[in-house]
Amino acid sequence: MANIRDLKKDINFVLGDIIDAVYIWEAINPKEDHSKSEAIIDDAIATFDDLIAKVNDNKVENRSKHFKAVNAELEERGKALIDRVNAL
C-alpha cells in the first residue's frame, strides 16, 4: 500500500465507477423498474462512507495491516456490488 491518499482514491474510483455503471444501465433501460438499481447506489454510498471512516480511524495499532484489510474489504464489497449490477 503506497499511502492513505491512494487508498482513498481507489475507494472513490471503484465505487464511483459502480455508480456510473448503474446510471448507464438506468439510462439504457428507462422502462425497467429502478428500485434494484437505486438500492445498489445506496449500498455503494454506504460502503464508501464505511470504508472512508475506517481509513480515517487513527486508533488502530498496526496501520499498514489495517489499510491492507480495508483494501481487501473494498475488493470484496466492490465485487459483490458489480455482481449485483451485472444481474440487472
- Banded model confidence at residue 23, pLDDT cuts 50, 70, 90: very high
* pLDDT in the model for residue 54: 93
Query: Which three cell numbers mark 45?
Result: 454510498
What's the whole-model pTM score?
A: 0.88
What is the pLDDT, as a whole number, of residue 7? 92
Whether pLDDT at 62 is above 80: yes
pLDDT of 49: 96
Question: Is residue 32 over pLDDT 90?
Answer: no
Instruction: Please name the residues in contact with 64: beta carbons below 8 A apart, sequence gap of 6 or more.
Output: 1
Q: Are 71 and 7 in contact (CB under 8 A)?
A: yes
Buried b (16+ CB within 10 A) or exposed e, 7-33: beebbeebbeebbebbeebeeeeeeee
Confidence of residue 2 (pLDDT cuts 50, 70, 90): low
Which of these, 28, 73, 67, lies nearest to 47 by C-alpha position? 73
Assign 88 a pLDDT band (cuts: 50, 70, 90). confident
Q: What is the pLDDT of residue 60?
A: 84
* Count of beta carbons in the 10 Å neighbourhood of residue 78: 19
Q: Tell which residue, 11, 13, 14, 18, has the closest CA to residue 55.
A: 11
